[in-house]
Amino acid sequence: MKILITGVLGQLGTALQPALAGHDLAGIDLPEVDITEREGLFTAVSRHNPDLIIHTAAYTDVNGCALNPELAYKVNGLGTQNVALACREFGAEMVHISTNEVFAGDRPDGYEEWMPLNPCNPYGRSKAAAEFHVRSLLSRYYIVRLSWLYAPGGRNFIHAILSRARKTGQLRVVVDEVANPTYVKDLAAAIANLITTRQYGTYHLSNSGACSRWEFANEILRQAGLKNVTNTPILSKEFKRPSTPPPYAALHNIAGTAIGITLRPWPEALANYMEKYVKREV
Ligand SMILES: NC(=O)c1ccc[n+]([C@@H]2O[C@H](COP(=O)([O-])OP(=O)(O)OC[C@H]3O[C@@H](n4cnc5c(N)ncnc54)[C@H](OP(=O)(O)O)[C@@H]3O)[C@@H](O)[C@H]2O)c1
């Protein structure tokens, strides 16, 4: 299949390349192609003439989105509308990458794929707008939601926790934010599997099981062999940021499981990542 990846230099865009080996791959990203500029995007898409576009490009800085909601909509809303229009114009299928932040996060039980969207911050609103555009413009699409993505080399939660723990021996981590940590390698493999099914629709492809940020940090410390670190649970109201995340926005994978696409439990995926990319204390 001829596949074009938007945001090819980002965390997921990078991981998709080995996962999709065997396909005819091409990628676009800033500064050459800006998805908010329709004409340049259409030129790039017509040059590659893909059967499928995997749209990972986004303004992913949630705090930046909170400070500049217009830019959040421009990149995530309008940008995705342009990608969907390009798919329609050039006859390509689309994979659109979305987030658990399209949900309000007020359901301690978590969310199934078809539950109503009700985002509680500008990033979530811009990503909900993106989903709306994909659904209204296309019929051959997959929307893939995920949460708490981590990747090698990324400035991610795992490395932030380890670096602070090693420097200070003390952590304060929020206990009232719950979601699914997701290893980018597992997500990329699941997407590579999904696109062969033609079972178009909406999917939750995070590693299975959910935890709070505090529990995630405890597991990182345990797996890294860091024993003498104090990890104090705090409430998000004690940790002020420009963006307010949804408190309980765990994703349940019902639609993917029904067609045989599941991701392993998050502690197992974390162990695999840590083995490869994190030095264990002895
Ligand atoms: N990271 C997470 O925890 C998480 C959680 C849930 C959902 N998601 C979703 O998953 C997808 C992939 O996330 P990621 O972590 O791989 O993102 P990422 O590492 O931030 O990569 C996004 C890429 O898109 C590019 N981009 C930004 N604005 C653009 C524009 N106007 N035109 C073209 N390209 C543009 C970025 O370029 P620059 O770096 O130059 O800006 C970057 O290369 C996103 O749709 C995100 O919303 C992520």
Query: Which residues of the chain fall below pLDDT 70?
Result: 154, 282
**Residue 52 structural domain:** 2-150+180-209+249-264
Say what the pLDDT of residue 279 is. 79
In a domain, 78, yes or no: yes
For residues 52 and 94, the answer to whether their CB atoms sit within 8 Å is yes
**Mutate-to-test residue for ligand 1 from 28, 29, 33, highest number of ligand atoms within 8 A of CB:** 29
State whether the beta carbon of 99 lies less than 6 angstroms from ligand 1: yes
* Cα 246 to Cα 148: distance, rounded to the nearest angstrom: 12
Say what the pLDDT of residue 255 is. 98
The single-letter code of the amino acid at 278 is: V
In a domain, 171, yes or no: no
In a domain, 41, yes or no: yes
Q: Which of 59, 73, 111, 123 is catalytic?
A: 123
In a domain, 165, yes or no: no
In a domain, 156, yes or no: no
128: domain CATH number is 3.40.50.720
Ligand 1 centroid vs 281 CA: distance in angstroms? 32
Reply yes or no on whether 273 is catalytic: no
Of the candidates 261, 113, 276, 270, the one whose C-alpha atom is nearest the C-alpha of residue 192 is 261
Across-strand partners of 170? 230
Say what the pLDDT of residue 282 is. 62
In a domain, 222, yes or no: no
Residue 6 main-chain phi, psi, to 5 deg = -90, 150
* Cα 277 to Cα 231: distance, rounded to the nearest angstrom: 22
Number of domains in the chain: 1
In a domain, 6, yes or no: yes
Say what the pLDDT of residue 280 is. 76
In a domain, 169, yes or no: no
Ligand 1 centroid vs 268 CA: distance in angstroms? 25
**Which ligand 1 atom minimizes the distance to the CA of 55?**
45
